[in-house]
Amino acid sequence: MIRVREERILEKIEMRTAKPEDIKELKTLIYETIDVCYSGAYSCEAIDYFKEYNNTESILNDILKGHLLILTCGEEIIGTGTLLGSNIRRIFVKPEYQSMGLGKRIMHELEKEALGEKIRKMDLHASLTAHSFYKDLGYQVQSEEVVQVKNGQNLRYYIMVKNLEIS
């Protein structure tokens, strides 16, 4: 029964380039996903840091200067991801749509776009919760980083890279 529901959802999903008028819904998607997915791995201070990093200005910059994709199911934005130069950022899928291959779909499209722009080496910053997702896609840890956030708390993440192959 669950598989049939997923297949019906997958049939309705479309991918398109984000527009400035999508920003409010994109920010809501990102913040809600951070709240749900990061709460077990990070402190409240680190979660606040992630939200500050993913502010309206940063998202708008990605729309205007990068290649920001969104996935929609009907009128609802359910996923997003950005390519800015060789950097992949802001890969988020609403929690209720995760584990359906949508994050991978976004990543493959961004990598395809990078290849079209003659980019051969990708880089990204991976949260603790996303590390294994990127590892499964062939990204390798280049370094582990720590940022001190408010109240003496730390935010740990990974810098990961992948060499793209020309097919």
List, for residues 70-109, the tens digit of each pLDDT value: 999 999 999 999 999 999 999 999 999 999 999 999 999 9
The alpha carbon of 124 is separated from its chain's Cα centroid by a whole number of angstroms, namely: 10
pLDDT, tens digit (0-9, with 9 covering 90-100), for 21-67: 999 999 999 999 999 999 999 999 999 999 999 999 999 999 999 99
Structure tokens at 127: 């949260």
pTM of the entire predicted model = 0.93
82/96 Cα distance (integer angstroms): 21
> Is the distance from CB of 106 to CB of 81 less than 8 angstroms?
yes
97/117 Cα distance (integer angstroms): 30
Closest to 16 measured CA to CA, from 83, 78, 68: 68
Closest to 132 measured CA to CA, from 101, 110, 158, 164: 158
> Is the distance from CB of 167 to CB of 150 less than 8 angstroms?
no
Strand pairing category for 67-73 and 87-93: unpaired
Structure tokens at 97: 């749509």
Full set of structural domains in the chain with CATH: 2-119 (3.40.630.30)
19/12 Cα distance (integer angstroms): 20
Beta bridge partners of 69: 17, 81
